[in-house]
Amino acid sequence: MTSVLALTGGVGGAKLALGLARVLPPGELTCVVNTGDDFRHLGLDISPDIDTLLYTLAGLADPVHGWGRRDDTATFMQALTALGGATWFHLGDADLAMHVERTHRLAAGHSLVAISDDMRRRLGIAQRVVPMCNEAVRTRVRTAEGWLAFQDYFVRRRCEPAVRELEYLGADAATPVRELQTLATQPGLRAVVICPSNPFLSIGPVLALRGVREALARCTAPVIAVSPIVAGGAVKGPTAKLMGELGFEVGHAAVAAHYAGLVDALLVDDDSGCAPGQAPWITAPTLMQTLEDRERLARCVLDIADRLAAAPRP
Amino acid sequence: MTSVLALTGGVGGAKLALGLARVLPPGELTCVVNTGDDFRHLGLDISPDIDTLLYTLAGLADPVHGWGRRDDTATFMQALTALGGATWFHLGDADLAMHVERTHRLAAGHSLVAISDDMRRRLGIAQRVVPMCNEAVRTRVRTAEGWLAFQDYFVRRRCEPAVRELEYLGADAATPVRELQTLATQPGLRAVVICPSNPFLSIGPVLALRGVREALARCTAPVIAVSPIVAGGAVKGPTAKLMGELGFEVGHAAVAAHYAGLVDALLVDDDSGCAPGQAPWITAPTLMQTLEDRERLARCVLDIADRLAAAPRP
């Protein structure tokens, strides 16, 4: 029985997911993960957000970058460079095991859901880690140079080109995982948490799947989002830059607008820009630097969910 | 203009290939390599004999095993083990770059010949390294347990099952590389050298390709083979065990019979078992322990070829 469902992308979202994992009893957290960043590189099927979450929950994540594995070696990349291979996307030696094994199992007919579940078990993770769907959904961005595949934009071009438009190729045709399909009516669901990942790049693909927006809007459990904006900007990554390029004022209001009608509360570090008529903005320290920060924010999210559940719904 | 063509398999053959590379002017050696050991593992296209030769000629080979790369790390295998992946075939981190890049380029439509040539250039190898064909040829062995794929027999089962029969699947349908097709009549060819690789497992697949036996028999340049048997046994690997299982007496006579009609001379460490009517057996120290041994044997092979070329042919 899942008690908390977290929707998450990569580094920022994984921090809160780790906090939730640590304050909830084992097995009570299910993380549904963005796969819009997934791509095929050097013939390998790479799922960056799933891996970031697995490494984070298993205590294997690189503490400096947030992605990749701690204490990984770079022997493969050095040898690949000598062979003239593509080096714009770094693949550590241990990290590579994930990609090779995933690619091998996918080719053998296993689903991404089944593979992810087996891997989290093998890495000793008590929480469930579920890709948003089994089918390929590919985020791409339109720039002055035309459409770019997500990782071309994000890693190869370091988010430099201004983004005019986003799309999630394949989202219309994909079937959301069961956890998303049953979200509206699942008995015993304590809360749905939208983690502080990029609302457009990381949560956007999940929301673009058929029925997910409707299910969130109808969800009987409280839906709480945490804004990724801290002190008026993004903690890391292109969230603030992208918001501006898409025509939004950088701040919580754009996040609130993105999640309008879907969430019961939006946690923000500062509610000075609060607009009337939107989901209640609740202030909390949302910057997660230490492990204690992650746990404290997780407890805060759960407290708010429990208070909302106890209060009469409007 | 190729002046010497070497037919070779893995470790043993690569030793003589290195000797030839060192005593011949740069660019005068072409190595045609067995691909019957090639296989697909974890979704990767692995060509063990090509890689052994590339590493040997580039000075990158592991000096202890003869295969794999010196100073390689094992981070990938450790991580793969934790994920429950197949660990019976060791893949070092640097070695993996070769397999990933080869697989990627094959999938993109490049030929194994073109990929091997590009890789040897990138590794700074002046000698040409040519797979025996572009198509898949797969050696398999019949044992009491039935047919086993080569690497299942060789690595996973450590050559333990007794071999009753060998076959080279796909050899009939494969097109030998140009160097093998033109072998009989190539102007300027100083010698063809059959390196001291396993005659059945490593040279057998090359000889099984359409027209190769006929081309060797008609070759106007001297064809010299070096027996892999030293002091009545194999230096390394299953050659002696396999010979016995296939019903041959372990010794040079079985090698001579295997190459009967194809070679002008067979270099052996001891000609006491010499049978009349076979190609002349020439004694030479064929054990290659040091780099000097490799160079000395290479010079010896070339001297014999030159003497045979100068002598009136029977």
Position A199 pLDDT exceeds 90:
yes
Q: How far is B258 from chain A (nearest CA, A)?
A: 38
pTM of the model: 0.93
pLDDT confidence of residue A231: 87
Chain A residues in contact with B42 (beta carbon < 8 A): 100-101, 104
Measured in angstroms, the CA of A146 and the nearest CA of chain B are apart by: 24
Q: What confidence score (pLDDT) does residue A183 get?
A: 93
Quote the pLDDT of residue B64.
85
Looking at beta carbons, which residues of chain A come within 8 Å of B118? 84
- Decide if B87 touches A, using CB distance below 8 A: no
Cross-strand partners of B167:
B140
Predicted confidence (pLDDT) per residue in A286-295, tens digit: 999 999 999 9
Kindly list the distances between the CA atom of residue A147 and the CA atoms of A89, A150, B38, in Å, as whole numbers in the listed order. Answer: 19, 9, 40
Q: Where are the domains of chain B?
A: 4-310
Contacts of B75 in chain A (CB under 8 A): 72-73, 75, 92-94
CATH topology classification for B4-310: Rossmann fold (3.40.50)
- For the cut 70, the answer to whether the pLDDT of residue A226 exceeds it is yes
**CA distances from residue A269 to A9, A228, A231, A274, B121 in whole angstroms, order as listed:** 20, 9, 7, 11, 57
Strands (E), chain B: 4-8, 29-33, 39-41, 44-46, 128-131, 138-143, 146-149, 165-169, 191-194, 223-226, 229-230, 233-234, 265-268, 281-283
Residue B202 has phi, psi (to 5 degrees) of -105, -45
Task: Kindly report, residue by residue over B180-196, the tens digit of the pLDDT.
Answer: 999 998 989 999 999 99
Please identify which residue in the block is written with the tokens 């693949």.
Answer: A91
Per-residue confidence (pLDDT) for residue A314, from 0 to 100: 55
Whole-number pLDDT of residue A111: 98
Min Cα separation B54/chain A (Å): 12
Residue of B76, B105, B115 to mutate for A, most A C-beta atoms under 10 A: B76
Residue A89 confidence (pLDDT) above 80: yes
Q: What is the pLDDT of residue B311?
A: 84
Percent of chain A at pLDDT above 70? 96
The pLDDT assigned to A239 comes to: 86
Q: Is residue A69 predicted with pLDDT exceeding 80?
A: yes
State ipTM: 0.92
Angle at A171 between CA A170 and CA A173, to 5 degrees: 70
* Neighbouring-strand partners of residue B166: B141
A167-193: average pLDDT: 95
Residue B190's pLDDT is 97
CA atoms within 13 A on the CB side of A72: 27
Show residues of chain A in contact with B72, CB under 8 Å.
Answer: 75
Tell me what pLDDT residue A232 has: 84
A42 CA: distance to closest CA in chain B (Å): 5
Arithmetic mean of pLDDT, A148-161: 92
Q: Look at A85 and B69 and tell me if their CB atoms are within 8 Å.
A: no
Q: Whole-angstrom Cα distance, residue B256 to residue B278?
A: 7
Range 52-71 of A in CB contact (< 8 A) with B: 69
Asked if the model's pLDDT at residue B313 lies above 70, the reply is: no
Nearest CA in chain A to B54: A83
Architecture of domain A4-136+177-310: 3-Layer(aba) Sandwich (3.40)
In this prediction, residue B289 has a pLDDT band, given cuts at 50, 70 and 90, of very high
Which residues, at least 6 apart from A280, have a Cβ–Cβ distance to it below 8 Å?
A264, A265, A266
pLDDT band of residue A65 (cuts 50, 70, 90) is confident
Q: Is A79 on the interface with B (CB under 8 A)?
A: yes
pLDDT number for residue A90: 96
| Average pLDDT of the residues in B232-254 | 87
Q: Which residues contact B313 (CB under 8 A, 6 or more apart)?
A: none
* DSSP per residue, B61-125: B-TTTSSSBTT---HHHHHHHHTT---SS---HHHHHHHHHHHHHHHTT--HHHHHHHHHHHTT-
Give the nearest partner residue to A104 out of B42, B69, B107, using CB atoms.
B42
Instruction: Test B79 with A73 for CB contact under 8 angstroms.
Output: no
> Average of pLDDT values for A67-75?
94
CA of A303, closest CA in chain B: separation in Å?
A: 36
Q: In chain A, which residue's Cα lies nearest the Cα of B116?
A: A83
Mean pLDDT of the residues in chain B: 94
Q: Examine the pLDDT at A73 and tell me if it is beyond 80.
A: yes
Given pLDDT bands bounded at 50, 70 and 90, which one contains residue A270?
Answer: confident
Residue of A nearest to B106 (CA): A43
pLDDT band at A272 (very low <50, low <70, confident <90, very high): confident
Q: Tell me the percentage of chain A whose pLDDT exceeds 90.
A: 84
Distance to chain B for A84, nearest Cα, Å: 7
Strands A265-268 and A281-283: parallel
Q: What percent of chain B has pLDDT over 70?
A: 96
A270 vs A304, higher pLDDT: A304
- CB–CB contact B44 A123 (8 Å): no
pLDDT attached to residue B314: 55
Contact between A83 and B122 using a beta-carbon 8 Å cutoff: yes
Q: Would you call B101 an interface residue with chain A, using a CB distance cutoff of 8 Å?
A: yes
Confidence of residue A60 (pLDDT cuts 50, 70, 90): very high
The mean of the pLDDT values for chain A is 94
Q: Mark A74-107 as b/e (b = at least 16 C-beta within 10 Å).
A: bbbbebbebbebeeebebbbbbbbbbbbbbbbbe
Task: Using a CB–CB cutoff of 8 Å, tell me whether B149 touches chain A.
Answer: no
The predicted-structure confidence for B35-71, as pLDDT tens digits, reads as follows: 999 999 999 999 999 999 999 999 999 988 878 999 9
- Among residues A103, A112, A119, A115, which one has the least CA distance to residue B43? A103
Mean pLDDT highest for which of A181-185, A272-276, B168-172? B168-172
